Structure 1
């Protein structure tokens, strides 16, 4: 059976649109200075290597579900979401001091290593950090460029633009809320839910769907149905991400085991454990959470605390409830039938994944 991410040949078409766009931008960079080859190489490899293409898939099938006609121009427009995602991941890795992404060095580590290998003056770590800030910013700028150069009609772009802008604002402030929550130590379920909603949930599912709807000129009633489907599904997606951040297999996730624990992420999973643990176990959880030197034994102990508290079961139950809510909303929506079928499959792919 064809993966929902492959239906309509979408994934290779998105990859083709991104590759063509990045090739043009490479030429543009090299007219400025040949040393920018390093920047072009890094962004091409980061954007084109791996990635589920989930956001373009939700946008494309949101468009098709609203009666939109397939075209390469629309595929190029929704591919712009991958550049927003690249920006968010590059900055996220820097803020979390993550060494790897998809099994390869993160951007700041890549440029730090480049500095050291070249024997340049100054601090290699600082150079890598600066490069990651700038490359993340460049990816965000290029997301605009790709959307506007996609070839879709100007009237369609005018409808889609406010959705695109709102989405980028939400993911940026959601990231700030995540950083703030780690600093304040707020371990409430309410705060964890808000961070998940704005950092990831809305820009993973709801806003891409609404972007597709806007490109197709969908009625407000369909956009409301997409929100009713997309918001709970996006939250379920993020909860699955949180589970994988603690219990995932590094060989599949491409990140070291327990990275979310070392980074001190105050996720729903952690909040649920914090609420249920005894005072002594809660104190142990707090003492280990956010310790960058947490070793394999420490990660295993944290996993035991979370599992024994019932938080893992509670989180899995919440994922199931949210997914069922999303599927119910989609069932009642006035969506074109092929798109409805794919969106059902995407709901399953987003919440039952191992990466």
Structure 2
């Protein structure tokens, strides 16, 4: 399988790398996450200027019609730089709009604003009781004349308080954990009855608890067909999981390089500690995990670009395999890096601690390792070895 990046993809990566190296260093990031807003308007403006917000949007709505591999390149660099702006949340929201039908007037208008950088999105999919099961939805959507009325709560909505529109999953029919009866809605952040309580997360990002208290929406707010949102939800979440794998890969690469530099400079008994064979073995193990994670993350991105919409079982299989293997590698690389840095590895002043926290949160987002291992095993054709 061909894994080389094309010229445009390399240009995107180089542009991001130069910007992060020049204007988004570790100290600048610490200042951003410590600010009241928790994000940087200047950094977001740069992402817009570089064309990153237009990348996932179809050409008809002013975008570049980028695929999963194009976004893989971007998310990998953002992972290296530990960028905290709501890019992933917006890209994932845009993906739901595209899957639901970018040619509809409402979705097209929202996507045009995303491409121009005027609109940030967030995805309110999880609830307190649901853990990693996106089918477990207690939030209700009821008919309200020609429109809808939403009531319920959504938890840990990444960048929910920073978004102008939230993609919300709600149950319009069926039992609480049925795949049928799920609908998706585009809910304006200023809709009457919508309450947002923002907070900072462990890894320096922002999230929000969302309360929908009889939020009334017009008919056009529905994404796709009523009661048939599970396929959209499942496919969109897989797209997001693939992007998380790419971000984790970039973070692991940066953390590996930082740890290697530390072993070359930190001295004990008059020699760099990297001279000690036992530490060299640990670095070799980290490298093996990193390379396997790289292969799986790239495979997931390539498969998402090449698989047809009908092959949902293969998409689930590949994405879950990647999310499991990348999560496994992220934990190992993160823990080893912290230990090799010694007590400094958990201090706020050292970048290693921030990479470790972000990797830990990525592993828990859109399904942890146990969830994706079980999902992988549930796909058709899986057989345990005798």
Task: Give the TM-score, by structure 2 length.
Answer: 0.28
Higher relative contact order (CA 8 A, sep 6+): 1
More helix per residue: 1
Task: Give the TM-score, by structure 1 length.
Answer: 0.30
More strand per residue: 2
